[in-house]
Amino acid sequence: MLTGDAAFIKKINRSLILSKIVEHKLISRAELAKLTGLNKATISVQVSDLLDKELIYETQQEHKSVGRRPIMLSVNREAGFALGIDLDKSSITFTISDLIGTSIQTDIIELNVSDYDFILKILIDQINNYKSKFNHTRYGLVGIAVGIHGIVNKDEIIDFVPQHGWQNKTLKEDLEKAIGINVYIENNANLCSIAEKVYKHHQCNNLLSVSLYSGIGLGFIINDTLFKGFHGYAGEIGHMIVVPNGLPCRCGNLGCWEQYASELSFITHLAKDQKNQTFNYIDFQNRMIEHDPAFQKEIDRFIMFISIGLNNLINLYNPEILVVNSEILRLYPNAAEELKAHLTSSISHYSELVISQFGKRACIMGACALAIQNFLGVSELCLTLSEESFLEK
């Protein structure tokens, strides 16, 4: 039986109430009591405290029936702001969101260096600019989450970033010392899985999110909890060997999945076949429209190798929802159906396979969600996308 002192129980009740206010956007005290199972006195005390802290506010709902208009509760979305950062190889993307996960501002700084101290200074300077800009609000910047395209351990120390050649970097400590705000460091694939859960698949408790870009990463939520493994290194699925004695990988092995099924491998193989032409996503889209046979041959090969790895994941984890995050597949019609056509094993079971609609925005969406969740102290966060939000128009 779960037990705890009064302060602990109060914290749990606060988390439950606030998570429901966030989820429903507009909700009465009576409805809160019904949804949470808490009595009206507990609801009243907690709501009063949240009002005092200016995390929520009251409005009276308009209605046509006779009688007293119900008082509704909403999150004070501008009480504070979260900062999500996607630290990639050639750019750093910064996105500010309000407390209901709506994107307020996005800035991109291009990178042509990998020096840690130089990039650290860029991060500090930019964060201080945001800190100053939002200092007038009740809580200012409430937290910062940074997505790393590399290995992050359970203590949020960056173990290795192959794109920059970083090893054992204490970015969390270095940033917090300089700016005085809570910083969270997370692997980008984990943040993608958080984005899928928080913004899209709210009711899913077992979700796998596979990101196919310069490498391949896996973020997985099992029993409603982000799974990281013993040291925090779980999810490096790109280094699963799918071709014995195959192409050499930077990890030291031969035939790793990311050498065949990452977008980088697709582009590299296509460029080699097309006499070292350079390609971008617009080129891919045009080739799809034109039904270019050379491109179609490569996309068929790409999908085949993706499906090999997905089949292994399905057999290992039996996911409820399997999300594949790839800009190329997002542009390619019927990508999910073609992947499913390769998954023909009678013992491979999953409920749903989808191509992520978030694309490369997923990492920073998950970063903002993580910062919001930690600030609000809620165990479950349910946000809704809007026209103002993260999706590219």
For 182-204, write each residue's pLDDT tens digit: 999 999 999 999 999 999 999 89
Q: How far is the C-alpha of 193 from the C-alpha of 291, rounded, in Å? A: 33
Task: Give the pLDDT of residue 289.
Answer: 86
Instruction: For residue 246, give the 3-state DSSP assignment.
Output: coil
Please report which helix (H) or strand (E) contains residue 216, including its range: strand 216-222
Give the span between the Cα atoms of 267 and 171, in whole angstroms: 31
Taking 50 as the pLDDT cut, the residues of the chain under it are 1, 393
Q: How many CB atoms lie within 10 A of CB 270?
A: 21
Identify the residue whose tokens are 């009591």.
33
pLDDT of residue 299: 93
Number of H helices, E strands in the chain: 13, 16
Other C-beta atoms lying within 10 Å of the C-beta of residue 219: 32
Instruction: Give the pair of three-digit tokens for residue 356.
Output: 């992520």
Domain covering 6-75 in this structure, CATH number: 1.10.10.10
**Contact at 8 Å (CB) between 33 and 48?**
no
Task: To the nearest 10°, report the CA torsion of 85, 88, 91, 95.
Answer: -20
**pLDDT score at 387:** 54
Locate CATH 3.30.420.40 in the chain. Answer: 81-193+361-376, 202-356
The CA radius of gyration of the chain, in Å to the nearest whole number, is 23
DSSP character for 115? -
Amino acid (1-letter code) at residue 196: E
Specify the CATH superfamily of domain 202-356.
ATPase, nucleotide binding domain (3.30.420.40)
Count of other CB atoms within 10 angstroms of residue 303: 19
Say what the pLDDT of residue 393 is.
Answer: 40
pLDDT at position 103 is 95
Which of 273, 322, 277 lies closest to 302 in space, CA to CA? 273
The rounded distance, in Å, linking the Cα atoms of 338 and 310 is 13
Q: Which residues belong to CATH 1.10.10.10 in the chain? A: 6-75
CATH classification code of 81-193+361-376:
3.30.420.40
pLDDT at 391: 55
Nearest to 122 by CA among 96, 151, 148, 87: 87
pLDDT value of position 280: 79
Residue 228, SS3? coil
> What is the identity of the amino acid at 195?
A
Phi/psi zone of residue 334: left (φ > 0), alpha (ψ -120 to 50 degrees), beta? left
Cα(191)–Cα(204) distance, rounded to whole angstroms? 16
What is the rounded CA–CA span in Å between residue 347 and residue 350? 10
